[in-house]
């Protein structure tokens, strides 16, 4: 519905105007008596919360539909406003460690190094990739520039590898968690162990080919083949249980949404606001 403004001056003025209006609204809310402020916020929450359900429940393309993207952009914009707060929070915490040179100072130093390095390299590689570059020889066309290479080194070479390293820890933790879960102390743990063995064996050749592979497919005992037992466990036992949990969750989520829209749920708000 709202088209982006191409004119730089007009868009700049709109941004400044929007910020001024937001500040004015916040100042106005701040001036109100707490009970009145709560009422104003409750009314705003009600109408804001009603937009998406109404847009969905009124059949077909309705008067609210053209505004859908604009409302979604508005929500993204609100989130973007707080992003700076996250960075400030990090800078304050790590800055304090460095200034007082606490035992955590080396970690804070690593944070500042990584933060500044990625920020500078990321900005230069995006906006000024030819900075300090020599004239590129003809035969080098197509090769990666310095800033791009530096960005890749830190992003793909360091960050993504570190991410993968942490993810890889999961393999070891699954083993230790499984060990604890499979200690047969109760009937439930025994059942868990038995089903886990069936599912695991059904996924490896030793189970499929050797242990029960000799049972003919057409035999009345074919259901004893491990892959069939595993399939039955996953589709007839596991899937319905998961669906039942999801079912309960969605009803709970609906109730919570109703409470939020009607401003009845105040446990996560500050002073009921």
Partner 1 sequence: MEHADWGTVYPWLVWLLTVMVGLGIWLSARGRQLHIRRLPAIDAMEEAVGRAVEMGRPILFVPGLADIDVPTFQAIAIAGHIARSAARYRNRVIVPVTNTVILTMAEQVLREAYAEAGAGDVFRPEDVRFLSGEQFAFASGVIGLMERERVASSFFFGNFAAESLILAEIGQRLGAIQIAGTPSTLQIPFFIAACDFTVIGEEYYAVTAYLTKEPILVGSVWGQDICRIALATFILAATVGMKWLPPIIVKFLTFPT
**Residue numbers at the binding site for partner 1 (CB under 8 A):** 55-62, 75, 78-79, 82-87, 89-90, 92-93, 96, 104, 107, 159, 162-163, 166-167, 169-170, 173-174, 176-178, 180-181, 242, 244-249, 251-260, 264-265, 267-271
* Residue with Cβ nearer partner 1 (32 or 87): 87
DSSP string, the chain: -PPPP--HHHHHHHHHHHHHHHHHHHHHHHHS-HHHHHHHHHHHHHHHHHHHHHHHHS-SS-TTGGGHHHHHHHHHHHHHHHHHHHHHHHHHHHHHHHHHT-TTHHHHHHHHHHHHHHHHHHHHHHH-TTTTPPPPPGGGTTSPPHHHHHHHIIIIIIIHHHHHHHHHHHHHHHHHHHHHHH---SHHHHHHHHHHHHHHHHTSHIIIIIISTTS-TTSTTGGGSHHHHHHHIIIIIIHHHHHHHHHHHHHHHHHHHHHHHTT---TTSSTT-
* Residue with Cβ nearer partner 1 (149 or 260): 260
* Residue with Cβ nearer partner 1 (89 or 219): 89
* Residue with Cβ nearer partner 1 (60 or 214): 60
* CB 244 to partner 1: min, Å: 8
* Residue with Cβ nearer partner 1 (140 or 191): 191
* CB 161 to partner 1: min, Å: 11
* CB 232 to partner 1: min, Å: 19
* CB 77 to partner 1: min, Å: 12
* CB 246 to partner 1: min, Å: 6
């Amino acid at each position: 519905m709202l088209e982006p403004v191409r004119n730089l001056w007009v868009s700049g003025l709109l941004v400044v105007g929007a910020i001024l209006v937001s500040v004015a609204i916040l100042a106005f809310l701040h001036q109100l008596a707490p009970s009145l402020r709560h009422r104003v916020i409750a009314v705003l929450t009600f109408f804001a919360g009603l937009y998406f359900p109404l847009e969905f429940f009124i059949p077909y393309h309705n008067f609210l539909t053209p505004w859908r993207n604009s409302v979604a952009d508005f929500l993204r914009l609100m989130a973007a406003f707080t992003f700076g707060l996250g960075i400030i929070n990090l800078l304050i915490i790590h800055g304090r460690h460095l200034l007082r040179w606490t035992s955590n100072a080396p970690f804070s130093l690593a944070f500042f190094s990584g933060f500044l390095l990625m920020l500078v390299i990321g900005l230069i590689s995006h906006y000024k990739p030819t900075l300090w570059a020599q004239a590129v020889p003809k035969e080098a066309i197509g090769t990666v520039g310095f800033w791009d290479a530096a960005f890749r080194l830190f992003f793909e070479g360091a960050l993504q590898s570190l991410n993968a390293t942490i993810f890889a820890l999961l393999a070891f933790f699954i083993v230790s968690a499984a060990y604890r879960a499979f200690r047969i102390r109760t009937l439930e743990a025994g059942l868990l162990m038995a089903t886990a063995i069936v599912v695991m064996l059904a996924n490896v050749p030793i189970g499929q080919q050797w242990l029960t592979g000799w049972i003919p497919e057409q035999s009345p005992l074919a259901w004893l083949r491990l892959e069939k037992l595993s399939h039955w466990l996953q589709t007839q036992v596991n899937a319905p249980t998961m669906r039942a949990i999801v079912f309960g969750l969605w009803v709970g989520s609906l109730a919570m949404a109703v409470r939020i829209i009607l401003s009845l749920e105040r446990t996560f708000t500050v002073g009921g606001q």
